Amino acid sequence: MGKFAQYLKAHVDMSEDIDHGNASLSIRKNIAFKGPNVFILACAIIIASVGLNVNSIPVIIGAMLISPVMGPILGFGFGLGIQDNRLVKDSLENFAVMVAISIAASTLFFILSPLTLENPSELLARTNPTIYDVLIALFGGIAGMLETSRKERGTVIAGVAIATALMPPLCTVGYGLSLLNWHYVLGALYLFLINSIFIALATLLTVKYLRFPVVMETEDGGKRQRLSKRAIAIILVIMIVPSIFSAIRMVQENNFSIHAERLVAKNKSIGKSFIYDYKTNTSVKPAVIDLYLAGETLTPEFKEVLYKDAEEYGITRNQIIIHEDATMTRDVLSESDLIQGIYEHNERQVKALTDSIAKLGAQLETLRASELPVEAIAREMFAQYPSIKSLSLAEGKTATPSGGSEEKQVIAIVSSSEDIDAEMKARLERWLKARLGQENVTVIQGN
């Protein structure tokens, strides 16, 4: 066990790879938002806003790569870790400047943008943070601080910028403000704060683990540290608890959608009716599934079958709403929707028939390929040998006495008005071998 511990320690030890001085210098240089950083941030925000506006993931990723928003967050966590009050204050000031510039630029863009999407999925994805976002920010922050601290740096920071996604929530805040939609504003701002706080927390923990030297010790340092820990704990609880509930709700909604899809797939055709469409509504409690049926009205017996299947997926009968006269009760249903539903209803039967026809066709082609062209060969033979009156061809297999592999053999039974001598028989066999492409051909004279 001792050897294993030494082996493990040798592989996780980072003391020789950490450069405290350069890491501190790099973080301090990147917290300021003035000069080029202001314009770079504004450009990144506009690029991210365009990407969100047109649902373009590559454009959003590009904006995250060029944005300098990580600087003040890392500076804040680093300052707390080394107890540098001045650095903490400067980081918070620049953090506020960064947030203000980002929100102002994105709001202006969305006010002026003529493009409005019916379903801005990339924007909506930034309004419902969960505990998973907490984990991404925490581990992303750890990776980012480790990358900043090591002597030979790689591409980890770029990956952290993409994974933690600090830019899109700020753009979504601007989008919400342009529409005065406070659900967008608060949801996106909450996600941004989660990312920022837990990246800072990860930086703080990493700084402590890597034993960065403390900048300032005071007589009341112990008291300040206790107060700092208490404040951090309160902030973390306030940020984490809503995200946990949000994650639980997301998992429940996802499970309900999956179970609803399976229920519909199992009961696509039921009785003399079929489900041509369905939709789930998870915004109500409990969630419900609307089933749109066509065909004959479901009998009570078939409804019970449907309810019983639903219970197997954890869906109660009260969560199922059946629309049996859908063309009358669903205004948004178009003629093409109904045709599509009918097609889906018959799709499995048509597919089964198609597969059966294809299988029979393949068998027929195989039989045709194996048939001997008796009529064609007989006409050719009659033209060459007028004395021949009839021809019969039969294909079989012969086995050797030693039990070896079977060989194909063609037997030709020829009826002629004249006796077929050995020479004529040999000539007929040579011709049939060439005509049939068979090496084993035997000619027999019939009556």
DSSP 363-413: HHHHHHHHS--HHHHHHHHHHH-TTEEEEEEEEEEE--TT----EEEEEEE
Query: Are residues 139 and 210 located together in one domain of the fold?
Result: yes
- Are 327 and 340 in a shared domain? no
Contact 207, 133 (CB under 8 A): no
Q: In this structure, what token pair is assigned to residue 146? A: 């480790």
Let me know if residue 230 belongs to a domain. no
Share of the chain above pLDDT 70, in %: 72
Query: What would the pLDDT profile of 194-233 be if each residue is shown by its tens digit?
Result: 888 888 888 888 888 888 888 755 444 445 555 456 766 6
Residue 164 placed within a domain? yes
Find all residues with CB under 8 Å of 282, minimum gap 6, and list them: 252, 253, 256, 257
Last residue of a domain, one of 321, 355, 371: 371
pLDDT at residue 144 in the model: 80
438 near 427, Cβ under 8 Å?
A: no
Which residues partner with 441 through β-bridges? 410
Where residue 8 falls among pLDDT bands split at 50, 70, 90?
low
- Mean pLDDT across 55-67: 79
Domain boundary among 188, 217, 246: 217
Q: How far apart are CA 25 and CA 22, in angstroms?
A: 5
Residues 134/256, Cβ–Cβ less than 8 Å:
no
Residue 116 tokens read as 């409005």
Do 24 and 173 lie in a common domain?
A: yes
Nearest Cα residue to 198 out of 239, 248, 158: 239
Whether pLDDT at 366 is above 50: yes
Residue 132's pLDDT band (boundaries 50, 70, 90)? confident
CB neighbour burial string for 208-234, b if at least 16 within 10 angstroms, e if fewer: eebebeeeeeeeeeeeeeeeeeeeeee
Residue 147, Cα to own-chain centre: how many angstroms? 29
Confidence of residue 121 (pLDDT cuts 50, 70, 90): low
Q: Is the pLDDT of residue 12 over 50?
A: yes
Query: What pLDDT score was predicted for residue 239?
Result: 62
Residue 246 in any domain: the answer is: no
The reply to whether 288 and 410 lie within a common domain is no
Domain count, the chain: 4
| Poorest-pLDDT segment among 9-13, 223-227, 271-275 | 223-227
Residue 27 lies in a domain: yes
Based on the domain organization, do 409 and 324 belong to the same domain? Answer: no
Q: Domain holding 263: CATH number? A: 3.30.70
User: Is 227 a domain residue?
Assistant: no
Task: Tell me, yes or no, whether 193 and 78 share the same domain.
Answer: yes
In a domain, 232, yes or no: no
Same domain, 365 and 378: no
Say yes or no: 431 and 388 in one domain. Answer: yes
Q: Which of 332, 360, 384 is the last residue of a domain?
A: 332
**The domain that contains 379 carries what CATH number?**
3.30.300
The arithmetic mean of pLDDT across residues 242-246, rounded, is 69
CA dist 206 and 214 (Å) reads: 14
Residue 250 lies inside a defined structural domain of this protein: no
Beta-strand relationship, 269-270 and 320-323: unpaired
User: Residue 60 domain-assigned?
Assistant: yes
User: Do 351 and 418 sit in the same domain of this protein?
Assistant: no
Please report which confidence band the pLDDT of residue 299 belongs to, taking 50, 70 and 90 as the band edges: confident
Is the domain of 340 the same as that of 328?
A: no
Same domain? 22 vs 136 = yes
Whether residues 37 and 158 fall in one domain: yes
Q: Which is more confidently placed, 178 or 12?
A: 178
Assess contact for 145 and 138: CB atoms under 8 A.
no
Q: Which domain holds residue 410?
A: 374-445
